[in-house]
Amino acid sequence: MSSGNEPRDLTRGDHDVPPFHLGGQDMYAISPDGQELAYTSNIDEVEATSTNNEIFIVPMTVESAVPSGKSPDALRTAHATAQPKKISTSPGADSTPLYSPDGKYLAWRSQARAGFEADKWRLFVQDRQSGKTRDLTEKFDLSVGSFTWRFSDSILLTAEHQGEAPVFSAKLDGNEPIGLFSLHADDLITSGSTLFFTRMSYTSPNTIWRADVSDLKKDSEPTAVTHLNDALLSQIDMQPLESFTFKGANNDDVQGFMVTPPGLDATKKYPLKFLIHGGPQGAWGDSWTYRWNAELFAVGNPESFRGQGGYVVVMINFHGSTGYGQKFTGSISGDWGGKPYVDLMKGLDYVEKTFPFIDKNREAALGASYGGYMANWILGHTDRFKCIVSHDGTFNTESAYGTTEELWFVNWEFKGPPWKKRELYRKFSPHLFADKFKTPTLVIHGQNDYRLDVSQGFDLFTTLQALKVPSKMLYFPDEGHWVLKPQNSRLWYKTVNDWVDQWCSPSRTGP
């Protein structure tokens, strides 16, 4: 904007503002006095190899770019020459700037390491007058998610923690943030002394909640503001999410979750669906999902069971998962088929031993993205599953490198390109273990998947067919890395559940 109502480009240069991101908090902010814009942009030459988003500030008006009393010519010159100023210095990603209500400070999230999308998200605050910047989360080993200012003396934030995303309070003195509410929260915003946020759970999609944050020393229980789905959800028999912990790789504590079918009879045996999350730096937890909903998997296709039940669904947060500290999250890089595979197998051993209603002779493994990779890895390393579902997973690590739009991702996870790290790529490439493939497998892939090219799915399916392993492929010509269209989602669930029923239903006979 400018004087005289003439538009002015505030974000000059041949770079996207904001850069590509998958939703979440805004990547720009306007100062309370309306005089300055802070925004996020990546100005590296090749964005496909970079996570180095930066924070820039720029005057909003020509008048704010020069001292008062200047001549019209000076204003016009300022209009033409005012340039954004980069204020971030990290080689990793900097994002989501937000001014304090009094305008004295500018906060943003920052990652320290270049090229590592799952590095710890720190919370930086800059004094706008002195330019001094400090990290409010130096003593905090979790990644900052959504955040908002509480007045101008502290910041409220969320951070994934053991399957939830609690709300924390961080003071400007840099002491460790204090936990306020244990739930799964996001999209924080304050209005006076009231905090508003979205809350989801495993049995409910997002609703709006509120909490009084006028005095953080007093207990304040959040309350729901919206109730749009209450009546509908009250008619659905959804089961609670049960947590368990076991000793995984390196004898570390690993958390898992289980959902049982409606009307569970613990004296009977139930087949199991073993879900594997993507990311790989992601996590299962007390949050809603439309694409991999365990409640739908637990019910399955009831007509296939003739009243005999449903499925137990088990999900493991293996090494590499988020919400357990940065060391745990980072431990998967360079070890895709190592510790995570050990965790998954030990987790499966644990639930088979602990819960006698699980039928270990009727188990299916299902995963997408990294979960699809792990499904492919499992295919060549164990035959304990009756069937497998592999969705958008890496099959050939070397060929996948040249067909992804996120080169920075594979460069980090495999320590460089395949011509420099050939041994590591081949060590963990599922296609090199095809001689051991035996398990019936459903392959799913989308034509518009630029994260993992559709050729990965065709390569896996062709290999299975050549080996005469029972297999089927579900191909979506109009989907990318995720199945997003409602009718496609219905087809996806039906196809996946039908495939698992085919091999795991109580009525099935034979191998």
Please give the positions annotated as active site: 369, 449, 481
Provide the H-helix boundaries in 93-208: none
CB crowding 231-262: b at 16 or more within 10 Å, else e: eeeeeeebbebeebebebbeeeebbbbbbbbe
**86 SS3 class:** strand
Q: How many CB atoms lie within 10 A of CB 426?
A: 14
The C-alpha atoms of residue 44 and residue 410 are separated, in whole angstroms, by 18
448 and 442 Cβ atoms separated by less than 8 Å: no
**473 SS3 class:** strand
312 and 358 Cβ atoms separated by less than 8 Å: yes
The C-alpha atoms of residue 401 and residue 63 are separated, in whole angstroms, by 49
Cα 474 vs. chain centroid, distance in angstroms? Answer: 24
Q: Which amino acid, one-letter code, is at 436?
A: K
Structure tokens at 243: 């947590």
Element (H, E) at 425: helix 422-427
Residue length of the chain: 511
Element (H, E) at 259: strand 253-259
Please compute Rg for the chain using Cα positions: 25
Residues in a beta bridge with 165: 184
Residues in a beta bridge with 223: 210
201 and 287 Cβ atoms separated by less than 8 Å: yes
The C-alpha atoms of residue 331 and residue 329 are separated, in whole angstroms, by 6
The C-alpha atoms of residue 48 and residue 410 are separated, in whole angstroms, by 11
Element (H, E) at 447: none
